[in-house]
Amino acid sequence: DTGVSQDPRHKITKRGQNVTFRCDPISEHNRLYWYRQTLGQGPEFLTYFQNEAQLEKSRLLSDRFSAERPKGSFSTLEIQRTEQGDSAMYLCASSLLEAGNTEAFFGQGTRLTVV
Amino acid sequence: GQNIDQPTEMTATEGAIVQINCTYQTSGFNGLFWYQQHAGEAPTFLSYNVLDGLEEKGRFSSFLSRSKGYSYLLLKELQMKDSASYLCAVRGSNYQLIWGAGTKLIIKP
């Protein structure tokens, strides 16, 4: 297993367009997280899945954002009608759901630029 | 509400020691993590504390006091490659990670 992978690594889109990002977690990990990170800030939580169930969605997330994890494996994050304020790094992470030192492993992220 | 505080930026000299502090207020506690993030890259795991005390791992050590809601990351024998942001994250009651904004560490020769 090569870790968490995200696709694409970079995306430039025009304001108003829809974009979709993909995340492939570490295969045995049952938790998958999406975060957004802007320069000089820590990761901002967007949503997370336990297997295929979306358990929590940030209140900061508008209705333009939707995420799926249809078979409990890979996940997609879609942003509709993109705005310039959506420009950020979108990070995916996965982990095991159990106590103890079960750290989250991050993908390399998708950098979105809305022009 | 839930809150994690870290200094925004710190500067240290190559070969020296630096301590990065983190204070937290969260609903529930199931462990505290430190991550390192180089510019433009994803965060990578450094350390984990769930009980009070010091955890040592090579040049890096992490300390936790649950009663004080306080942790620190200690970096010894600083190298230029240690220049990065250091993120403190607390795993809350629902096992979700709550992140600080990160501390940018600048190492000078």
Q: Order of strands, edge to edge, in the sheet holding A19-24?
A: A5-7, A19-24, A75-79, A65-68
At residue A98 the predicted structure's pLDDT band, cuts being 50, 70 and 90, is: low
CB A24 within 8 A of CB A74: yes
A100 touches chain B (CB under 8 A): yes
Per 3-state DSSP, chain A is made up of helix, strand and coil in percentages (nearest 5) of 5, 50, 50
Give me the pLDDT at residue B54, please. 97
Spell out which residues of chain B touch residue A23, defining contact as CB-CB under 8 Å: none
Give me the pLDDT at residue A101, please. 66
Lowest mean per-residue pLDDT among A27-31, A72-76, B21-25, B86-90: A27-31
3-state secondary structure of A15: coil
Q: What is the mean pLDDT of residues B17-34?
A: 95
Q: What is the mean pLDDT of residues A28-36?
A: 92
Lowest mean per-residue pLDDT among A53-62, A71-80, A103-112, B56-65: A53-62
Evaluate if residue A1 carries a pLDDT over 90.
no
Evaluate if residue A2 carries a pLDDT over 90.
no
For residue B36, give how far its alpha carbon lies from the nearest alpha carbon of chain A (Å).
Answer: 11
CB A83 within 8 A of CB A57: no
Most A CBs within 10 Å: which of B51, B62, B95, B103, as the mutation test of the A interface? B95
Most B CBs within 10 Å: which of A90, A103, A106, A111, as the mutation test of the B interface? A103
At residue A62 the predicted structure's pLDDT band, cuts being 50, 70 and 90, is: confident
At residue A4 the predicted structure's pLDDT band, cuts being 50, 70 and 90, is: very high
Evaluate if residue B95 carries a pLDDT over 80.
no
Interatomic CA distance for residues B40 and B38, integer angstroms: 6
Lowest mean per-residue pLDDT among A101-110, B30-39, B76-85: A101-110
At residue B60 the predicted structure's pLDDT band, cuts being 50, 70 and 90, is: very high
A44 touches chain B (CB under 8 A): yes
Spatial CB neighbours of A79, under 8 Å, sequence gap ≥ 6: A18, A19, A20, A64, A65, A86, A112
Give me the pLDDT at residue A56, please. 85
Looking at chain A, the whole-number percentage of residues with pLDDT higher than 70 is 95
Evaluate if residue B20 carries a pLDDT over 90.
yes
Give me the pLDDT at residue B53, please. 97
Of the ranges A93-97, B41-45, B63-67, the best mean pLDDT one: B63-67
Give me the pLDDT at residue B27, please. 87
* pLDDT digit string, tens, across residues B72-85: 999 999 999 999 99
